[in-house]
Amino acid sequence: MANLKEIRNRIASVSSTMQITSAMKMVSAAKLKKAQDAITAMRPYADKLTELLQNLSANLDADGGSRYAEAREVQKVLVVAISSNRGLCGAFNANISKQCAALVKDTYAGKQVHFVTIGKKAGDLLRKQQTLVSDHSAIYDDLTFEAVAAIADELMERFSTGEYDRIELVYNRFKNAATQIVTTETFLPIQPAAEAAETTKGDYIFEPSEAEIVEQLIPKSLKTQLYKAVRDSFASEHGARMTAMHKATDNAGELKEQLTLTYNKARQAAITNEILEIVGGAEALSNA
């Protein structure tokens, strides 16, 4: 009977776990809808603004904001690792850590690489092996454009003063609830439009002046680019967590079924043994 009691306790434990994972799945699904709508609405604007900036970058003169487009010999690199503050979302955070490690080992081997983290999990994973310049995990407490813009200002300042020669963003790009694409994106210097692209460069008329417009456009575009990356990661996090909790709920259900079957078999065997003992006792008494 002790064995039956142990199995019953395990069934109760699995049932409780299944209720928790199911609830977390529904919560993430609700949050995902809002986050997905936000990034879907923002992405066309951000992409068009980036395209415009890339087309204009070819015309930047020495005083027209070119400090953000200056291509230098890369010696010091700053990587912005965007993750989540919480776990239970599958390989979402581990993939960011792996991509950062690949940048250090392969892409920028022999260079000095430092990190800025957005999300506690990236900080926890990278702090042990890499140099962290700053952490902005609290941004998820109130995710607004203004809060992200402040981080972008910090990054632009570090680049324009020559503290770093290149700044990269590493984040999960949202595709759908089940798919998140680990993306490495150059934040600074501004990358000109690819010459191989078949798109025609725009013919722009500047008013009041090219330098003044570009000077205002560059910071706005960079802030929007960073905000889009954080929003992409935020939507990806909820998609990854919803998928992970869905799988966990299914696995818990299968385990519960197996335990229930094991319990029924053990209970049936115990009842059969009791019947056999009663029959054996009755036969012993009749033969006495």
Residues ≥6 apart with Cβ < 8 Å to 96:
81, 82, 83, 121, 122, 125, 170, 171, 172, 182
The single residue of 89, 214, 242, 259 carrying the catalytic annotation is: 89
- Cα-to-chain-centroid distance, residue 213: 34
Domain boundaries, the chain: 21-244
Whether the link from the prior residue into 219 is cis, omega within 30° of 0, is: no
Least confident of 22-36, 119-133, 135-149, 191-205: 191-205
In percent, the amount of the chain with pLDDT more than 70 equals 89
Confidence at 276, pLDDT banded by 50, 70, 90: confident
Tens digit of each residue's pLDDT (9 = 90 or more) over 38-62: 999 999 998 888 877 777 665 554 4
100 is catalytic: no
Beta strands (DSSP E) in 94-253 are 112-118, 131-135, 166-176, 179-188
Euclidean distance between CA atoms 262 and 188, whole angstroms: 60
Confidence at 191, pLDDT banded by 50, 70, 90: confident
CB of 96 closer than 8 Å to CB of 85: no
CATH number of 21-244: 3.20.20.140, 2.60.40.1080, 3.40.1380.10, 3.20.20.80? 3.40.1380.10
| pTM of the predicted structure, to 2 decimals | 0.84
Per-residue model confidence (pLDDT) at position 64: 46
Residues ≥6 apart with Cβ < 8 Å to 270:
1, 4
